[in-house]
Amino acid sequence: MTKCEDTPGEKCAVFGIRSAAEEVFDSIYYGLYALQHRGQESAGIATFSDNKIILYKNMGLVSDVFSDHLKNDRRLPGRSGIGHVRYSTCGSPGIENAQPMVINYSGGSFAIAHNGDLVNDDELRAILERKGSVFTTTSDTEIIAQLIVKEHLRTGDFIEGIKSAMNYLRGSYSIVILKEDRIIAVRDPWGFRPLVYGRSDKAVAVASETCALDSLGMQTVRDVKPSEILVIGDTVESHYGRKDEVHHCMFEYVYFARPDSIVNEIPVYEVRRNLGRILALEAPVEADLVVAVPDSGITAAIGYSQESKIPYGEGLMKNRYHGRTFIMPGQKQRELGVKVKLNVIKSEVLGKKIVLIDDSIVRGTTIKRLVKLLKDQGAAEVHVRISCPPIRHPCHYGIDMQSYDQFIAQKKEVKEIEKQIGADSLAYISLEGLVHAIGLPEEKLCLACLNGNYPIKEEQTKLSDI
């Protein structure tokens, strides 16, 4: 599916590592490479060497941004460092907002990288500007950094400064900071976005997802807990900032996290398969073949097939070399774009009744094209099943779903959507089914884009002063 068109985007991923024995550039590179699915617009690495921070960031995929560093051995030196990949929302790409960001001030310097979104960013920025802060970017990350600077200088201690800054931050933030040779990982009190910590015999690392630790052969120790400030130096120390009620993002399980990751101690793959199984029980249909929208619908489709006993087959083939840069303006080009990205395996679908599984519907444009493609290639019937309940509300906590008018389910009932996308039938998993598949109590989840019940209430975002 095409970015900014029909699939919500994740804003970012973070990675940090400190080694007692080795240079860390390659580990950061491969850690970010494993997290590329969370952001493809820009990539950056900051390391600490010779008492200074060395930074390189640019627009593009990790492999593009750092190809010269690897090929010509221009690796950034240092035994500790952090990295970031960024997804930018429509209209706000640009190197000025790429991360990590380096801050120099009278208390020293640090590099910071952030995954998430603040909900009180405007207010914080205005207060900080009144108090003399000068901003050079439009990103939330700089607000967090300036707040930490201010509170460090006020308290005289960097960790106390972070703890104090957390009293004023509202929204989602999984952060890694490089301060001298220490890595500091911070997770917001609600635990919206994932953040994990792992180790090998030579290094300690933090990452947005366990798949990054796995790819480096490191053992996952545990999640960085909501409200936690994990300080990785010669020892690993745990501090806590302001606490609140935990609400993990349900969409990490449904779509964003890699299926081989474990998020909040729950394997994502199992959740997705459960979603498919529950969907088969809630919305059965007589059909010949279960087909997934690759790659997002595959695991749920396997679950649907296992529960329904309808065989799973590859009815749609994805061009794996189709990059995210393949964004074409105009309706005609977009239709061509879908055909180039996904093709129907005619022999698999000809004359068959198909159950087509995908993870979510935002605008409905892509699923409509896929139903048409399948029917044009001879599918007898196409029944669409979606492993996430209808998305009706914007996300304020780090997922690129910002406005009400982008959601087809905001304006139309299921029957109307079914007609609009040209499906023979359409069904979504229920909210109860989703919660059951994840296996966490409902009160520990954020479900705001589904039910409008936002964990951070308006009154919590109001600050009188800092």
The window from 24-32, 135-143, 301-309, 442-450 that contacts ligand SF4 (CB under 6 A) reads: 442-450
**447 near ligand SF4, judged by CB under 6 A:** yes
**According to CB under 6 A, which one of 355, 437, 446, 456 is a site residue for ligand SF4?**
446
Q: Which is nearer to ligand SF4, 148 or 434 (CB)?
A: 434
Q: How far is the CB of 452 from ligand SF4 (least distance, A)?
A: 9
Q: How far is the CB of 205 from ligand SF4 (least distance, A)?
A: 25
Q: How far is the CB of 391 from ligand SF4 (least distance, A)?
A: 8
SS (H, E, C) the chain: CCECCCECCECEEEEEEEECCCCCHHHHHHHHHHCHHHCCCEEEEEEEECCEEEEEEEECCHHHHCHHHHHCCCCCCCCEEEEEEECCCCCCCCHHHCCCEEEEECCEEEEEEEECCECCHHHHHHHHHHCCCCCCCCCHHHHHHHHHHHHHHHHCCHHHHHHHHHCCCCECCEEEEEECCEEEEEECCCCCCCCEEEECCCEEEEECCHHHHHHCCCEEEEECCCCEEEEECCCEEEEECCCCCCCEEHHHHHHHCCCCCEECCEEHHHHHHHHHHHHHHHCCCCCCEEEECCCCCHHHHHHHHHHHCCCECCCEEECCCCCCCCCCCCHHHHHHHHHHHEEECHHHHCCCEEEEEECCCCCCHHHHHHHHHHHHCCCCEEEEEECCCCCCCCCCCCECCCCHHHCHHHHCCHHHHHHHHCCCEEEECCHHHHHHHHCCCHHHEECHHHHCCCCCCHHHHCCCCC
Residue 100 corresponds to which tokens in the numbers above? Answer: 């990590």
**According to CB under 6 A, which one of 158, 192, 269, 407 is a site residue for ligand SF4?**
192
12 is catalytic: yes
CA 130/CA 39 separation, integer angstroms: 33
**448 near ligand SF4, judged by CB under 6 A:** yes
**456 near ligand SF4, judged by CB under 6 A:** no
The window from 32-40, 415-423, 433-441, 446-454 that contacts ligand SF4 (CB under 6 A) reads: 446-454
Q: Which is nearer to ligand SF4, 280 or 449 (CB)?
A: 449
Site string for ligand SF4, 366-405 (x = CB under 6 A): -----------------------------x-x-x------
Q: Which is nearer to ligand SF4, 117 or 228 (CB)?
A: 117
Size of the site for ligand SF4 (CB under 6 A): 11
**224 near ligand SF4, judged by CB under 6 A:** no
Q: How far is the CB of 424 from ligand SF4 (least distance, A)?
A: 29
Q: Which is nearer to ligand SF4, 128 or 249 (CB)?
A: 249
Q: Which is nearer to ligand SF4, 257 or 280 (CB)?
A: 257
Q: How far is the CB of 430 from ligand SF4 (least distance, A)?
A: 16
Q: How far is the CB of 237 from ligand SF4 (least distance, A)?
A: 29
Q: How far is the CB of 112 from ligand SF4 (least distance, A)?
A: 21
Q: Segment 240-299, which members bind ligand SF4 (CB under 6 A)? A: 249-251
Q: Which is nearer to ligand SF4, 98 or 446 (CB)?
A: 446
Q: Which is nearer to ligand SF4, 169 or 302 (CB)?
A: 169
- Residue 193 φ/ψ region, left for φ over 0, alpha for ψ in the -120 to 50 degree band, beta for the rest: beta
Query: What residues are labeled active site?
Result: 12
List residues near ligand SF4 by CB under 6 A.
Answer: 192, 249-251, 395, 397, 399, 446-449
